[in-house]
Amino acid sequence: MKNLNSVFEAYLIGWGVFFLFYVSIAKRTSDLRAEVERLKNALPRGK
């Protein structure tokens, strides 16, 4: 069972990277949603 740590490290870091990427997509999406709201509010006022 030598080197088992390295195997776990590899899997955990790998999954961590995928997870972080997914979080970054979700973050960017929610930022965009906020932006849409802001624009919606700004549009009628501009008219």
Partner 1 sequence: MGKRIVLGAVAILLVIAAAYASFYVAPEERTMGVLQRIFYFHVASAWAGMDAFLLCFIANLLYVWKRDQKYDWLGVSSAEVGLVLTTVVLITGPIWAKPAWGIYWTWDARLTSTFVLWLLYVSYLLLRTLIEEPERRALLSALFGIFAFIDVPLVFFSIRWWRTQHPAPVIMGGPGSGLDPTMNKVFLFSVLAMHVLAAFLIVERYMLEKMRSEVDTLRREAEAQ
Two structure tokens written together for 42: 């700004």
Return the HEC string of the chain. Answer: CCCHHHHHHHHHHHHHHHHHHHHHHHHHHHHHHHHHHHHHHHHHHHC
Quote the least distance from Cβ 8 to partner 1, whole Å: 10
Smallest distance from partner 1 to CB 26, Å: 8
Q: Residue numbers of the site for partner 1 (CB under 8 A)? A: 1-4, 6-7, 9-11, 13-15, 17-18, 21-22, 25, 28-29, 32, 35-36, 39, 42-43, 46-47
> Which amino acid, one-letter code, is at 13?
I
> Min. distance of Cβ 25 from partner 1 in angstroms?
5
